[in-house]
Structure 1
Amino acid sequence: MYQNFGLFIDGAWVRSSDGLDVLSPVTEKPLGRVPAASPEDTARAIDAAARALPHLREMGGFARADALHRIADEMLARADEATRMISAETGKPLAQSGREWALSCDQFRWYAEEARRIYGRMVESRVPGGRFEITREPVGIVGAFTAWNFPAALPARKLAPALAAGCCVVLRPSSQTPGVAMVMVDCIRAGGLPDGAVNLVVGSTANTYVPIMADARVRKVSLTGSTRVGQQMIRDAADTVKKVSMELGGNAPLIVYDDADLEPTLDAVVATKFANCGQVCVTPDRLFVHDSVHDAFVEGFVRRARKIRVGDGMDSDTGMGPLINAGRLSEIDAIVQGAIRAGATLACGGQRPAGQNSGHFYEPTVLTGVTDDMRVFAEENFGPVAAITRFGDEAEVLARANASDMGLAAYAFTRSPDRARRTVATLKAGMVGINSFALAASEAPFGGTNFSGMGREGGTEGIGDYLDTKLAQIVF
């Protein structure tokens, strides 16, 4: 499965003296073995990026734009291969994998155009005959670290804007899902970028993360991962004063007001909650439902959840795949059982599906009677668990929704424009969806506040984290 890939350094696939097995979350058996980088391999990748950096910058924005369009063309041509790789490594249904790859292609399209629009400006100076010129330049080498839950979209969100800006990248994807990133990097070869513009290393923290963070030539790091890892990265980045952007954990509230259009609301919420087996940082975790519609909402939610077929994502009729590994399976069951012991009611799910004794499968689960202090509500559960509670009025629910250190995404369903505006203004989150969960688009800035991270990926804002601002005072 990985025989055509490996580590990607200085424009070529290379092997290493060590390797690691990639396990299927469906069968728990190896999908294949990939080379694991040594510290020396990672150093060689950084060296290659350093050599390529002046050449990538000299290409100019228009040439880089053309290269990114060629990359997107190659990605589209290899969509079937990539889609199947995503489903094999994550277990998610093929339809979801296909949408993820399409979104990844779109990142390269969007940033191809942004490469042509890295604007500066001119400001009159108070010095006679003078003027200020403000330009924007690539920060330099970027270390990019991505998680396993969206193994295509997350690398694309970092690679596309970095290359558009003129930055070289050392990409370190999750060791649990390295193949998808390898397919993407192989597609990047079609862009005609300088050798070393993109490098890929897979392996342990000591062999990959540590050398990247210690090297002063790496001027920026971008992370998609947990808050705990993000906090450590901020500390490590301080030693060489690297620029840092990161999208970390979430614990998104969902408010269903009394005037919500219930049936389409339920269709949207259930589909979103159980996508990728709930392993989505922006999934609605805390479901606040108004007293007047609570019972009908729960009934409709449970009815829809029970219809979801759990199984191998490679099967066309599968609605939800497995959790990524045994640790996540154990953790989700512990969270659910803990909530039940604390007084929550299990409305459906709460166990492995009958007859599935291998794979990391867990039933779509609904808990009601949840209180705000229960772990299932107070922490991001990152699994197929919908935790539902009641509320009485708008001021109450907004205060409860904001009672979290996280601030990635938040949602509300209402038919009142005034209430929608008040809700958007009050919720503490980097992104708010009203009657919609469609936040992840290449043209929109994706990211959070507080313990959910800093910086943005996507939109015009996304390229800014890969650029430095230079001021010149010119007097004649």
Structure 2
Amino acid sequence: MAHILHSEENEIVAESSVRTHRRLFIDGAWIDATGHGHTEVCDPVTGKFVSKVVHASEKDLRAAVEASRAGFVVWRDRSAFHRCKIIRSAANLLRERAPQIARLMTREQGKPLKEAGGEIALSADLLDWFAEEGRRTYGRMIPARVPGVSQVVSRVPVGPVAAFTPSNFPIAQAVRKIGPALAAGCSIVLKPAEETAATTSVLADVFRDAGLPPGALNLLYGDPTEISEHLISHPVIRFVSFTGAMQTGKAVAAIAGMHMKRCLMELSGHAPAIIFNDAEIDAAAKLLAFAKYYNSGQACVSPIRFLVQSGVYDDFKDQFIAEVKRIHVANGISPGSTMGPLTTEQRLRFVQDLIDDAIERGATVELGGKRIGDIGHFLEPTVLSNVTVDMRIMNEEPFGPVALLSEFETVEQAIKEANRVPHGLASYAFTRSNAIADHLSSELETGMLSINHLGLGLPETPYGGVKASGYGSEGGTEALDNYLVTKFVSHAVM
């Protein structure tokens, strides 16, 4: 299982020189960043420093905001039908270029090539969905109380948007912001993660080639604090959309609040997966093993706390571990790889610290628990049992390939543990009982609940959390609501 391939055949990057990524996409063109700082990026497979991303300067930030202001004026006046055509054209270009983009994503982010291809396919579907929803931003007429008065409600774009996305899904996370913003008629300044700068940058080319006017989409890289403070406080920016860690999101929301800016927050999760005595154990084990170790566990909706009713605990544990043992850890480019490395050394160390803390406090290592070798950011798929609520990993999102198994007796005990943490993004449950399913649906404090299957993240379904996991939705018909404001006009004919 813990088998890592390092060879030219498997296309490990082996340049002796460090690549420099200077490009910023501003006002429809690529320009060189003029900042003095840079972010060092390592290859997740080798752990070697392979590139640096030059930071945007304050001058670059001002240029991006001005381009977004001018681009908004042009883009909002295009018809919804015209905007739909351009966004759908971008979706088709994304599909055409998927093989090359997938390989780039795998090299930068680390996920297996098959997962990278799946992310791109989903992203194209998301764009299609947002494009069509943009044509349905209907208003309404309200009957007046007196003759000669018309009362019209319209939904108009909120204005230029500042958006921030992480490295775990460099195309999909960006598309969940670019798509609805453009479909609503907004312009957008996007600050993606520097670790996957080259991957996310392809979206600028895709939209430019699809016919998007200059300034409607701008991409910046640089110091997160400097960029967020400049963009969010700027009067041109009217809306803030953030995906990332809970603590960072709180800081971003605080700045937005100081400037009375609307915002959308998609933050950390600590998803429970509840398996009841009457569940189909074989199916639950297979589906949850896939969901847990997909993208090396680097997903906010990844199941973390596996709450298993006592009558099936041993059976589920055995079947789940058997599924996890089938995972093939390798360079994502390698044929047959089903789990790649973590994206950064910092993430690897953080997850390892959480595992070590749990072991010191009495957790049992059922599988894995250690770094693989000393090259790259590989961690063994890990299963811990006998976990307790005083352990850091039971309270902090690991964002890595670790499953935590514990027993419960009653439905209420499971609900209490599921709701114990401040997170409330995703939850999973497996039961044949409609009564239990209904009870969970009403009592679990979660933005999304999937019962007996993996049903989250589709373009047509809402995607967002509650409590400290944020607010707002990045999917379904609700996605465009974030980027629209309601305008009411009451007109008395003179």
Q: Normalised by the size of structure 1, how large is the TM-score?
A: 0.97
Q: Among 311, 316, 322, which residue is 1:297 paired with?
A: 316
Write the letter of the residue equivalent to 1:224.
Answer: T
Q: Deviations over 1:339-361 (max 9, x none)?
A: 111111111101122xx321011
Give the structure 2 partner of residue 434 of structure 1.
451
RMSD of the alignment, in Å? 1.5
Q: How does 1:412-451 map to 2 (within 5 A)?
A: 412-451=429-468
Post-superposition shift, 1:238?
2.3
The answer as to whether partners of 1:5 and 1:13 remain within 8 angstroms in 2 is no
Q: Distance in 1 between matches of 2:252 and 2:63?
A: 22
Q: Distance in 2 between matches of 1:186 and 1:22?
A: 22
Q: Among 447, 461, 465, which residue is 2:478 paired with?
A: 461
Q: Distance in 1 between matches of 2:484 and 2:355?
A: 44
Do residues 152 (structure 1) and 171 (structure 2) align? yes
Post-superposition shift, 1:9?
0.5
Q: Among 68, 89, 92, which residue is 1:49 paired with?
A: 68
Write the letter of the residue equivalent to 1:439.
Answer: L
Mean Cα deviation higher: 104-113 or 302-311? 302-311
Give the structure 2 partner of residue 306 of structure 1.
325
Write the letter of the residue equivalent to 2:134.
Answer: A
The DSSP-based 3-state class of the residue aligned with 2:300 is coil
Give the structure 2 partner of residue 203 of structure 1.
222
Q: Among 228, 241, 244, which residue is 1:222 paired with?
A: 241
Mean Cα deviation higher: 313-322 or 127-136? 127-136
Q: Distance in 2 between matches of 1:399 and 1:352?
A: 33
Q: Deviations over 1:227-258 (max 9, x none)?
A: 11111111111232111001001011110000
The DSSP-based 3-state class of the residue aligned with 1:148 is coil
Q: Closer, same or farther in 2 for the Cα pair 1:270/1:35, shift >3 Å?
A: same
Q: Which blocks of at least 5 consecutive residues in structure 2 are unaligned?
A: 1-12, 14-18
Give the structure 1 partner of residue 271 of structure 2.
252
The answer as to whether partners of 1:38 and 1:208 remain within 8 angstroms in 2 is no
Q: Deviations over 1:159-193 (max 9, x none)?
A: 00000001000000011111121011110112212
The answer as to whether partners of 1:7 and 1:35 remain within 8 angstroms in 2 is no
Write the letter of the residue equivalent to 2:61.
Answer: T
Q: Distance in 2 between matches of 1:453 and 1:367?
A: 28
Do residues 350 (structure 1) and 369 (structure 2) align? yes
The DSSP-based 3-state class of the residue aligned with 2:420 is coil
Give the structure 2 partner of residue 82 of structure 1.
101
Give the structure 2 partner of residue 242 of structure 1.
261
Post-superposition shift, 1:194?
1.5
Q: Closer, same or farther in 2 for the Cα pair 1:393/1:382, shift >3 Å?
A: same
Post-superposition shift, 1:459?
0.8
Post-superposition shift, 1:206?
4.4
The answer as to whether partners of 1:64 and 1:112 remain within 8 angstroms in 2 is yes
Q: How many equivalent residue pairs?
A: 474
Write the letter of the residue equivalent to 1:413.
Answer: F
Write the letter of the residue equivalent to 1:449.
Answer: V
The answer as to whether partners of 1:273 and 1:384 remain within 8 angstroms in 2 is yes
Q: Among 398, 411, 422, which residue is 2:415 paired with?
A: 398
The answer as to whether partners of 1:5 and 1:182 remain within 8 angstroms in 2 is no
Give the structure 2 partner of residue 336 of structure 1.
355
Identical counterparts, % of pairs: 40
Post-superposition shift, 1:77?
1.0
Mean Cα deviation higher: 35-44 or 218-227? 35-44
Post-superposition shift, 1:437?
2.1
Q: How does 1:32-111 map to 2 (within 5 A)?
A: 32-111=51-130
The DSSP-based 3-state class of the residue aligned with 1:8 is strand
Q: Closer, same or farther in 2 for the Cα pair 1:5/1:74, shift >3 Å?
A: farther
Post-superposition shift, 1:373?
2.9
Q: Distance in 1 between matches of 2:49 and 2:183?
A: 36
Post-superposition shift, 1:31?
4.0
Q: Distance in 2 between matches of 1:31 and 1:162?
A: 33
Write the letter of the residue equivalent to 2:418.
Answer: A
